[in-house]
Structure 1
């Protein structure tokens, strides 16, 4: 692992997560564990060799750990999970950039973006658990006490279930697609389900 050889905490952090793809690996794991193949699918453009190297570096640095029971999976350590709020703030900052790549957004990147753009005031009086079904992926999104928490895996008793694909969800929340007529299935409490799409702000466009 390369080092800046600088004792500053910022430099030491960049020693661990400053290499290309490293912080995006953290992004892909912040909602829960993943297998190598799932990480590769979410990080389009990262070669298997580079991804393997970054995983080894992050594991050696104590940011992630590998579970070897069954199919090997990677997850953040307790210390690695402390990067979650920093990722959200970095996402808010980066969303104001004039650079707007046209590439796809991974499912995890989209859900982290939802956390970053959640508007507390719009959730006033709302306490609900959502199941998000995005293709084969399942997530639990809990809104309570003016906060949003998303984790990988279906909740036991959701108040509402939203079934769609990541591109459609992105267009509904951050684009100009209207909910009525969109390829979305809402189950459970429809009022609560519809409220979900109004909980987020659009990143500034200038």
Structure 2
């Protein structure tokens, strides 16, 4: 599969040549959460053909955006991870994610939410200015999913799984399926969640993770 060449000496054109192919940025999105096995990526990107995933991984590796690592013991096999150059794409992914979130509208038939996409959406919409000097942590529970968010002196860490220590507030959301962050925020605003811990931190959570209204 030949990579698209725009024939322009332009930073944006070069970026699109490197990560503009179909599925490429979504692979980078998932690897920005944590390293993944090939099978993890395949599971988290339903609909991607196996030959396309293999091709994109090869292209991204050749471009220096991702690298292969040996999984630490007791695991075995190969993990795909972002290189430092790959991590430099995160601000651009966050900016695109925020812009796209404002224009998403209602979910279309067949669209799903994955744990990695939920984490990256929460990272993208995080209001760092409102979090200045704040230290607090949350754990969000939904069917088949636990994620944690921790702000330390205004800096956010967010990942799949339970919090490393005891969170300040546990928010339990009970939909029929994995929620989008819009559904989670709306349920929290309407009081349709269970809370355990510092209940005052729900308002803080909403202030830090609610998108502004589109112009």
Q: Which residue of 2 aligns with 1:57?
A: 59
Residues 137, 177 of structure 1: alpha-carbon distance in 2 compared, 3 angstrom cutoff: closer
CA contact (8 A) 1:172 1:197 kept: no
Q: Which residue of 1 aligns with 2:135?
A: 127
Q: Which residue of 1 aligns with 2:79?
A: 73
Residues 81, 188 of structure 1: alpha-carbon distance in 2 compared, 3 angstrom cutoff: same
Q: CA deviation digits over 1:100-128, x for unaligned, max 9?
A: 55211222112211122223455366312
Please report how far the alpha carbon of residue 196 of structure 1 lies from its aligned counterpart in structure 2 after TM superposition: 2.6
Q: Which residue of 2 aligns with 1:38?
A: 40
Instruction: Give 3-state SS (helix, strand or coil) of 2:209's partner.
Output: coil
CA contact (8 A) 2:44 2:114 kept: yes
1:199 aligns with 2:199: no
Aligned mates of 2:58, 2:141 — CA distance in 1:
31
CA contact (8 A) 2:149 2:157 kept: yes
Number of residue pairs matched by the alignment: 203
CA contact (8 A) 1:134 1:166 kept: yes
Aligned mates of 1:20, 1:196 — CA distance in 2:
34
Aligned mates of 1:95, 1:117 — CA distance in 2:
9
Q: Which residue of 2 aligns with 1:22?
A: 24
Q: Which residue of 2 aligns with 1:171?
A: 183
Please report how far the alpha carbon of residue 203 of structure 1 lies from its aligned counterpart in structure 2 after TM superposition: 5.5
Residues 203, 95 of structure 1: alpha-carbon distance in 2 compared, 3 angstrom cutoff: farther
Q: CA deviation digits over 1:76-120, x for unaligned, max 9?
A: 001100111111111122223366552112221122111222234
Please report how far the alpha carbon of residue 167 of structure 1 lies from its aligned counterpart in structure 2 after TM superposition: 1.1
Q: Which residue of 1 aligns with 2:158?
A: 150
Please report how far the alpha carbon of residue 156 of structure 1 lies from its aligned counterpart in structure 2 after TM superposition: 2.7
TM-score (norm: length of structure 1): 0.80
Aligned mates of 2:47, 2:202 — CA distance in 1:
35
Contiguous gaps of at least 5 residues in structure 1: none
What does residue range 84-103 of structure 1 map to in structure 2 within 5 Å?
Answer: 84-97=90-103, 101-102=107-108, 103=111
Please report how far the alpha carbon of residue 58 of structure 1 lies from its aligned counterpart in structure 2 after TM superposition: 0.5
Aligned mates of 2:82, 2:142 — CA distance in 1:
23
Aligned mates of 2:160, 2:87 — CA distance in 1:
14
1:107 aligns with 2:115: yes
Q: CA deviation digits over 1:6-46, x for unaligned, max 9?
A: 33222111111010000010111111111112211221211
